[in-house]
């Protein structure tokens, strides 16, 4: 079994060089039809292009037959919540959005390109995306801060007839729920019995705890914590309608108190939020998902130094035992595009989590 603390390393300069050389960025565009002759060019553009133009004008659904719409996803952000780095602006989000597009293509052969919207106003963002949304077969919203992200996704889904999917919410929920299903399988625990603590009540955390409840975790066995402490029923400060929906009637007031005797902690907050002392206080065979990016709430080294019986996973690709959204979103969109789904519903997300959990338990070859 590999050492969970083993990880690959690279320098900041390595990362900059990767993005700059041999050409800046990570994506490009290439034609999928031959462009070798005058006839090819005449069909691709004027005068031949007029024929599908008229066909689509008569029936807009023909765009799926005569354009790339059916295999095209936009990755759209305003940069207000980039990874775990915060609000750094729309252009700072571009490397992440390009990276997302690369993953769509690499893992599910979905064509994708990025759109960075220069506004922090939710209504303005919604208007921009609504007016260009018909270009694509689906929209992946990314790195938009909470609680605005909830309103943006909901309104766009109602305005457009293509899937609008905020991956920070639902991709994270799918892969963390799949991981929890299998962690319970390994430890012999049952979803309906485990006590789950959520550290971080943002978009990813609230969506994840909601899907875990739908998968079998009991609401009364959950405790949610944010920067102000436990989200308890009637708490006066730092609340909104989305947190209030998951508030519990509990005397606990801090993350440290909540983690005493807990079976599971789901970290979707910030580096250093979970301490060794907190992990040491958990139930036998604790399950720790430290999924903050780019740096987890606690490292595998620190977890294993106090709890050798722990299951520890992070969201990073350079640690073993990774729980990362790339395990879900490319394939979910692949399926949604193939059937021309108009939205990604709750049942699809649960099915995706269960399928991913089952797939992870299958035997794999020693060499590929």
CATH code for the domain of 216: 3.40.50.720
Residue 190: domain span: 176-314
How high is the pLDDT of residue 321?
Answer: 84
Q: Which among 69, 100, 189, 243 is annotated as catalytic?
A: 100
Is the model's pTM score more than 0.85? yes
Lateral strand order in the sheet of 72-77: 111-116, 72-77, 138-141, 164-166
Annotated active-site residue 100? The verdict is yes
Q: Looking at the DSSP assignment, which residues form a beta bridge with residue 238?
A: none
How high is the pLDDT of residue 316?
Answer: 84
Whether 319 is in a domain gets the answer no
- Compute the distance between CA of residue 21 and CA of residue 25 in angstroms, rounded to an integer: 8
Whether 340 is in a domain gets the answer no
Of 140, 138, 141, which is closest to residue 162 (Cα–Cα)?
Answer: 138
Whether 34 is in a domain gets the answer yes
How high is the pLDDT of residue 232?
Answer: 96
How high is the pLDDT of residue 45?
Answer: 96
Choose one of 314, 344, 360: the last residue of a domain. 314
Answer whether the bond into residue 15 is a cis peptide, omega within 30°. no
Q: What are the backbone angles phi and psi of residue 145, rounded to the nearest 5°?
A: -70, 155
Choose one of 292, 314, 336: the last residue of a domain. 314
Domain count, the chain: 2
- Compute the distance between CA of residue 47 and CA of residue 197 in angstroms, rounded to an integer: 62
How high is the pLDDT of residue 3?
Answer: 52
How high is the pLDDT of residue 368?
Answer: 58
Q: Which among 45, 66, 118, 276 is annotated as catalytic?
A: 45
Using alpha carbons only, how large is the chain's radius of gyration in Å? 22
Same domain, residue pair 51 and 180: no
Whether 75 is in a domain gets the answer no
Annotated active-site residue 195? The verdict is no
CA triple 226-75-181, angle to 5 deg: 50
Whether 180 is in a domain gets the answer yes
Whether 347 is in a domain gets the answer no
Whether 99 is in a domain gets the answer no
Whether 273 is in a domain gets the answer yes
- Compute the distance between CA of residue 37 and CA of residue 41 in angstroms, rounded to an integer: 6
Q: What is the mean pLDDT of each run of 10 residues along the chain (368 residues)?
A: 57 94 94 95 97 98 98 98 90 98 97 97 98 98 94 97 96 97 96 98 94 96 97 94 95 98 96 97 98 91 96 87 92 96 94 94 76
Choose one of 55, 70, 97: the last residue of a domain. 55
């Amino acid at each position: 079994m590999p050492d969970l603390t083993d990880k690959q390393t690279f320098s900041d300069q390595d990362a900059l060089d990767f993005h700059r050389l041999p050409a800046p960025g990570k994506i490009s565009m290439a034609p999928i039809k031959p462009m070798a002759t005058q006839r090819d060019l005449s069909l691709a553009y004027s005068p031949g292009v007029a024929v599908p133009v008229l066909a689509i004008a008569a029936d807009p659904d023909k765009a799926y037959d005569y354009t790339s719409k059916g295999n095209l996803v936009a990755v759209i952000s305003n940069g207000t919540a980039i990874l775990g780095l915060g609000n750094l602006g729309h252009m700072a989000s571009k490397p992440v959005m390009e990276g997302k597009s690369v993953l769509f293509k690499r893992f599910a052969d979905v064509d994708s390109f990025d759109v960075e919207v220069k506004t922090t106003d939710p209504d303005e963002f919604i208007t921009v995306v609504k007016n260009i949304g018909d270009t694509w077969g689906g929209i992946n919203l990314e790195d938009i801060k909470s609680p605005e992200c909830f309103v943006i996704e909901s309104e766009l889904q109602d305005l457009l007839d293509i899937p609008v999917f905020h991956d920070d919410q639902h991709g994270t929920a799918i892969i963390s729920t799949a991981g929890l299903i299998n962690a319970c399988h390994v430890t012999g625990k049952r979803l309906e019995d485990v006590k789950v603590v959520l550290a971080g009540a943002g978009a990813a955390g609230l969506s994840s705890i909601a899907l875990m409840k739908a998968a079998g975790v009991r609401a009364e066995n959950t405790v949610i914590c944010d920067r102000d402490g436990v989200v308890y029923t009637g708490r006066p400060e730092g609340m909104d309608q989305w947190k209030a929906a998951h508030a519990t009637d509990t005397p606990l007031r801090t993350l440290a108190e909540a983690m005493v005797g807990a079976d599971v902690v789901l970290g979707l907050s910030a580096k250093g939020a979970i301490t060794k002392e907190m992990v040491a206080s958990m139930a036998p065979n604790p399950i720790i998902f430290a999924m903050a990016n780019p740096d987890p709430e606690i490292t595998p080294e620190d977890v294993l130094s106090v709890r050798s019986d722990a299951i520890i996973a992070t969201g990073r690709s350079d640690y073993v035992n990774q729980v990362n959204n790339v395990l879900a979103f490319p394939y979910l969109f692949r399926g949604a595009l193939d059937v021309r789904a108009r939205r990604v519903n709750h049942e699809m997300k649960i099915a995706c989590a269960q399928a991913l959990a089952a797939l992870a338990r299958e035997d794999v070859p020693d060499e590929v």
